[in-house]
Amino acid sequence: MLRALLSDDYPRSRVLSAALLIAFFGLALAPFLFSGSQSLNAAAKICYFIVLVASYDLLLGYTGIVSFAHTMFFGIGGYGAGIALFTWGPSWSSLSLGTAIALVLSTAVALLIGLFSLRVRAIFFAMITLAVASVFAILASQLGWLTGGEDGRTYQIPPLLRPGFRLFEQDLFGVTINGRIIAYYLVFLTSLFLFLLMLRVVNSPFGRVLQAIRENDFRAEALGYRTVLYRSIINCVSAGMATLAGVLCAVWLRYTGPATTLSFDIMLDILLMVVIGGMGTLYGAVLGATIFLLAESYLQNLMGLVSKATAGLPLLPQLFDPDRWLLWLGLLFILSVYFFPTGIVGKLRGGAR
C-alpha cells in the first residue's frame, strides 16, 4: 500500500523519513495542533507551495531545464480561479470552469514556449521564459478591467468553504469544524494527491528518460528518445501542476493579485526552496518549502531586531532592514548552489550510506 502510494520511491534515510513524517502529520493535523488563523494560513501556504516547488523540480531537478515562467503558470491558475469566482459568482461550477480554462491556457502557453525554445538549447528556454513571464506580469497589472490591476481581485468562495459554515453542531476535539477548516483540508488533500501523482510521474519509465536527458541529452537522443518531445511534455505537466497550485492559493486566500502570484520574488523563493531542499528529488520540495516558509517570518523579525539594534551605525541598519530580505536570500541562494548543490535531502541521504 505504502509502496504503491510512494511509487516505490522511499526516502532512503531515517532522518529524512522522520522529517517527512513530522511535516506530514504536522500538516494533516494542523487545525487541531495549532490554534489561530495565522498558523492555519501558514500550513495552507506550505501545502500549495509544496505542489508549486515540486512541480518546478520536475523541470529543474529532473530534466535539467531552468524556467523563469513558473510564477506565470501559478498566476494563470490563481487568476483563472479568481476571475471565474469574481465574475460568475461563488459556486463550484464557476470554480471548476475557471480551473479548466486556466489549465488549458497554461498548457497551451507552455507548449508554445517549448516549441520555440526547447528545440534549440536549454539556455534559450531560460531567457525566453524570463522575457515572456515579465511581459505577462506587466500585462496582468495593465488589464485592469479583467484582473483588477495592481490591487488584484477579492471574491467569495463557495458557501461550504466559508468561515460561517458549520459541519457539526458540537466541537470536535475542542475545535469548531467550520468552512475554513474544510477549505484547509481541501487544500491539504489536493496537494497530497498532486504530490503523490508527481512522485508517480518521476518514478515511471517516462521519469527515467527525463533523468537521462538531464544527465546527457546527447546520449539520450542517441538511444532513440526524442528529447524535444519529452521536454515539451514535462514542461506542460509542470505548468499544469503550477496552475493547480495557483488555484489552491486563490481558493485559500480568497484574493488574487500580482504580489501573491506573479512577482519575481516568488520565483526566487521557488528557486531557493528547490535548491535548499535538494534538486532532483521531490522530497526536497517538501522539506525546502516547509523549512523556508517557517523560517521566513522568524528571520524577517530577527532582521528587524538587528536593524534596530544597529540603528546608530552607518550602513548596517539598511543592510538588515527587513525589506532587504531579498539581499540575504540571494546570498544564501548563491552559496547553496556552490556548496550545497544536493540540498538537505542529498546531505541526509549521503550521510546514511
Partner 1 sequence: MSAIETSEGGLVARAIDWRPLVLVPLLIAAALPLVGSPSTWATLTLAGLAMGMMIFIMASGLTLVFGLMDVINFGHGAFISLGAYSGTLLLLPLAGWLAADSLALNFVALLAMIGLAMLITGIAGYFFERVIIKPVYGRHLHQILVTVGGLIVAQQIIIVLWGPIQITLSLPTALRGIIVFGDIAVERYRLIAVVIGLVVFGGMLLVLNRTKIGLLIRAGVENREMVEALGYHIDRLFIGVFVAGSALAGLGGVMWGFYREALTPGMGLELLVLIFIVVIIGGLGSVGGCFIGALLVALTANYTGFLAPKLALGSNILLMVLILLWRARGLYPVAKR
Q: Is 211 in the site for partner 1 (CB under 8 A)?
A: no
Distances (CA, A) of 244 to 149, 183, 275, 285, 298: 22, 15, 22, 16, 28
Phi and psi of 133, rounded to 5°?
-65, -40
Q: Is 228 in the site for partner 1 (CB under 8 A)?
A: no
- Return the range that interacts with partner 1 (CB under 8 A); candidates 58-66, 196-204, 229-237, 290-298: 58-66
Tell me the C-alpha distance between 184 and 52, whole Å: 17
The distance of closest approach from Cβ of residue 327 to partner 1 in the complex, given in angstroms and rounded to an integer, is 4
Which C-beta is closer to partner 1: that of 127 or that of 229?
Answer: 127
Classify 29 as helix, strand or coil: coil
Q: Is 139 in the site for partner 1 (CB under 8 A)?
A: yes
Q: Which amino acid is at 175?
A: V
Question: Segment 303-342, which members bind partner 1 (CB under 8 A)?
Answer: 315, 318-319, 323-324, 326-327, 329-331, 333-334, 337-338, 341
The distance of closest approach from Cβ of residue 251 to partner 1 in the complex, given in angstroms and rounded to an integer, is 29
Q: Is 138 in the site for partner 1 (CB under 8 A)?
A: yes
Q: Is 119 in the site for partner 1 (CB under 8 A)?
A: yes
Determine contact, residues 40/184, Cβ cutoff 8 Å: yes
In the set 69, 109, 128, 177, which binds partner 1 (CB under 8 A)?
A: 128
Q: Is 111 in the site for partner 1 (CB under 8 A)?
A: no
Distances (CA, A) of 289 to 23, 49, 54, 97, 285: 10, 6, 9, 29, 6
Determine contact, residues 345/284, Cβ cutoff 8 Å: yes
In the set 87, 93, 142, 156, which binds partner 1 (CB under 8 A)?
A: 142
- List the Cα angle 83/88/90 in 5-degree steps: 90
With cell 542517441, the residue in question is 222
The distance of closest approach from Cβ of residue 214 to partner 1 in the complex, given in angstroms and rounded to an integer, is 9
Q: Is 105 in the site for partner 1 (CB under 8 A)?
A: no
- Residues forming beta bridges with residue 166, ordered by sequence position: 178
Q: What is the CA radius of gyration of the chain?
A: 21
Interface residues with partner 1 (CB under 8 A) are: 60, 64, 66, 116, 119-124, 126-128, 130-132, 134-135, 138-139, 142, 218, 264, 268, 271, 275, 315, 318-319, 323-324, 326-327, 329-331, 333-334, 337-338, 341
